[in-house]
Structure 1
């Protein structure tokens, strides 16, 4: 994707997943508010200014304190100090920082939410947030602290950077330091901007960091399932699998669209293969009809298709969340008068469930990949491949320990699939007595994605090796169209192993191909997710 002269206009209502992908892949994109959003934000902000002048209404977070301090009055003359105190008291996150891609996404998403107007902030406040984003000043945001009922702690760290507080940390052009110093380097005045009434709460309320993380993780998982299709096709080729399992009639009868699409993708990769025929199987001494393969081979389309169905549901949640008012309180108008209503739109229950769902299906994707890899190592299960995928087994150990990594990774992923969404622990004097714990889901899924990259890389490395080991036996028979391209691409960078060598470097290279998505660029895969 080319990124030259790209701009993204926010209106609070039309942010799409395609625009999110473009924003992730093109860091130079400049973001601005639409003219309609500017007028809408000004209109709603007028209500907050009027309420402050009247000095009569008790409005949570505007004229009152926060949490259990909701019964304490905040005077109009204390508003500036109140806004700054909110950031100082809430910016207490711990642990490692989020990746910059996620923080950039959070800044974009929060600006889009605020552009809807219901939060009652000033246009200047949103433009300040976008100024940092467009200039490349990215706050350093710790991962631990949010309970998934508003990302108060992480977003407060962004707030400190917005106002140029020395307590804030940020990155700018690869340099990490105090936000006030880095704002100066980016030609942004660190002392010019002060938050007004309601604006600090409007920034930190809503589960924005959870949403940003969920979107970035979904973006990665969407690529992973496409790579899983490719790895499965390579293993089917290497084991000379029975292609009847991909017959479109089987999948049409099952009435699941994503499964039908997956079977079509696998069939396209294997189109033209002569290895997966009775003649191909006979080359390694298999003279009786195969009839059908084991479930990990025969039901790949069903399992991968089911995973994609879940991911489609997750995507629908994320897209709706991107264009929703995630704040408390929210301001509404009937065209004549304004009303402030307190509610719970900040709660990330649906995001927490979605994160758990992604973790579950990602783990099962890794489980079936590991099972396919295991078959490649066994001469019986692979129908004649050399033991441990090495010639001269005994003197050479081959790929047994490479595969052991997949077993270990799947074991860890199984533990991580324990749902975070049912782990609510009350906090803040029981004012927040139900928490989604969505940030726990975010942090678990980060690890699971890393592990899944490695499991798929192992299957690709092993299946490529298997193909090389029997290529001489299969001389004169064609491989599938897609598997031929994929195998050749892998072999441009990673040589087959004819006897034991230090194979970790090759495995790490294969993992980097999967993590970067480079391997996907060799194909135009139309995925149902």
Structure 2
């Protein structure tokens, strides 16, 4: 039996990150704020009046891109819009997953409902009904340069409305006609500008970047918890987390991370046991957790603000302003803000993995950690975590290459009419692989740190960290001698991607606090 989903009312321009996260996770059905209908209808009436009066306006009765100077007769306008969708459906590669497609569809609904696109309410209603019926368009992941919008992937979304192409229902790919029938939606004959309004926009780039944000939050949280475990395993000092140090600098993320770690480690017997030991300073990967992870958190927070704005944006072109009856060409389809947001998420995700891998190496180095070599008894006959760290190093290094900014790359398209593009779609899409890699790295660290803590027993960690420790032990057992570790690593990768974390950590997430 499926769970009853919560009904979420979309108010264009005011949809929160928390709502977008619910859409991403598939826990809601959607409706549209009735107050948006008037603006949609007025914009459509403006387009209708332009056609009736015979005015020549780009996107309504002209060709597109380099062919914008070609005027199209009224009796060919429906064919013009249909041909636009068909000719632009040139994507390739694996289909985008349903969680991303849900955000694409919702963001397109929001954008059209801003009342600047000139589409009929029927177009928006069709998208809503298909979304709520679980009918997801098959959208290939490759083929967009992020300007003029996500043309190819959004064309594949639009095919569904015409009864063309394929859709997914409960993971099964079927013809679009079957999906329309299931949702009770008739295939659309597109009106003036409707095809262009559906294709223009940054919704695919934005949805992919939001996936990177939502998954990046979880690996950030897991990395912070894994770092606290490692601190305890090596009997590191909590003095560098003193609030006064971080307030003296004033960086918000750093202050918040230090405070969270203090809460995590409060009342730890392990910490208390070595308050007066001879160690002066811990390595940077332990001591500078607030500075590094705080900077990552600041990056995620900035990206979150940009992406929330973009998910609510009218990123169509041209835009209809019904109060003056004008249709004005601009460039809101250019996804540079999304590309920049994706790039700084990538930097954060790469650094979370990089510092985690360094702590893992620290745990295994007996000269630095004071723990048995490679965290295993009878070293020599047993290799322990030696090669698990190699896997972590490989993944962290791969992320360094993936973190190269997508936004600095550009190739001109459309006979140099579109001579600078954002590459936002790639910049956002690679975040999925990066989060996968980092989830594995922090998962391996947490597994190794839990192993290290066992050597401090019977001393107990803090109540919160004992809960974390128990969660790790539910997934992986103590490594008393060598065994097949690949299943354990995969289980801990899933932990790193799960968001199963103390509230003091999850409340830092931008999508929770926004």
Aligned to 1:447: 433
State whether residues 486 and 522 of structure 1, in contact with CA within 8 Å, keep that contact through their aligned partners in structure 2. Answer: no
> Which whole-Å deviations, capped at 9, do the CAs of 1:179-211 have from their partners, x for residues lacking one?
113323x153454x2111100100110111001
> Secondary structure at 1:229's aligned position in 2?
helix
**Structure 1, gaps ≥5 residues long:** 282-286
CA contact (8 A) 2:385 2:448 kept: yes
Q: Is the 8 A contact 1:265 1:525 kept in 2?
A: no
- TM-superposed CA distance for 1:25, in Å, is 2.8
1:312-391 correspondence runs (5 A) = 312-333=301-322, 335=323, 337-382=324-369, 384-391=370-377
Q: Report what 2:191 is aligned to.
A: 196
Alignment of 1:392-403 (within 5 A): 392-403=378-389
Contact kept in structure 1, 2:260 and 2:505, CA below 8 Å: no
Q: Map of 1:107-122 to 2, 5 A cutoff?
A: 107-122=105-120
Match of 2:36 in 1: 37
Equivalent residue number for residue 264 of structure 1: 259
Secondary structure at 1:391 match in 2:
coil
Determine the C-alpha separation between the residues in 1 that align with 2:252 and 2:197.
41
Residues 256 and 395 of structure 1: CA distance in aligned 2, closer, same or farther (over 3 Å)? same
- How far apart are the structure 2 equivalents of 1:103 and 1:501? 40
Name which of 230, 244, 268 aligns with 2:225. Answer: 230
Q: Is the 8 A contact 2:203 2:311 kept in 1?
A: no
Query: 2:501 — aligned with what?
Result: 520
User: What root-mean-square deviation, in Å, do the aligned CA atoms of Structure 1 and Structure 2 show?
Assistant: 1.7
Contact 1:132 1:162 in 2 (8 A): no
2:364–2:375 CA contact under 8 A, matched in 1? yes
Distance in 1, Cα, partners of 2:474 & 2:385: 20
Kindly tell me the number of residue pairs found equivalent between the two proteins.
508
Alignment CA distance shift 1:187-1:241 (3 Å): closer
Q: What are the equivalent positions in structure 2 for 1:286-297 lying under 5 Å apart?
A: 289-297=278-286
* SS of residue in 2 equivalent to 1:30: strand
Cα distance in 1, alignment partners of residues 251 and 288 from structure 2: 13
One of 151, 155, 170 as aligned partner of 1:173: 170
TM-fit CA distance, 1:513: 2.0
Give 1:487's match in structure 2, choosing from 454, 469, 472: 469
Partner residue in 1 for 2:16: 16
- Paired residues of 1:87 and 1:159 also in contact (CA < 8 A): yes
| Other-structure match for 1:457 | 443
- 1:72-107 CA-partner distances (Å, limit 9, x unpaired): 111111111111111110001011111111111111
Deviation at 1:396, TM superposition (A): 0.5
- In structure 2, distance between residues paired with 1:328 and 1:442: 22
The 5 A counterparts of 1:501-520 are: 501-517=483-499, 519-520=500-501
Q: Are the equivalent residues in 2 in contact too, given 1:424–1:436 (CA < 8 A)?
A: yes
Contact 1:258 1:528 in 2 (8 A): no
TM-superposed deviation, 1:294: 0.8
CA-to-aligned-CA distance 1:448-490 (integer Å, 9 cap, x gap) = 111111111111111011112342xxx3x33222221111221
Q: Does 1 or 2 have the higher relative contact order (CA < 8 Å, sep 6+)?
A: 2
Task: Give me the TM-score of the superposition, normalised by structure 1.
Answer: 0.93
TM-score by length of 2: 0.95
1:432 to 388, 395, 418: 418
How far does the alpha carbon of each residue in 1:224-266 deviate from its partner, in whole angstroms, 9 at most, with x for none? 2111110110000101111111111111111122211111111
Structure 2, unmatched stretches of 5+, are none
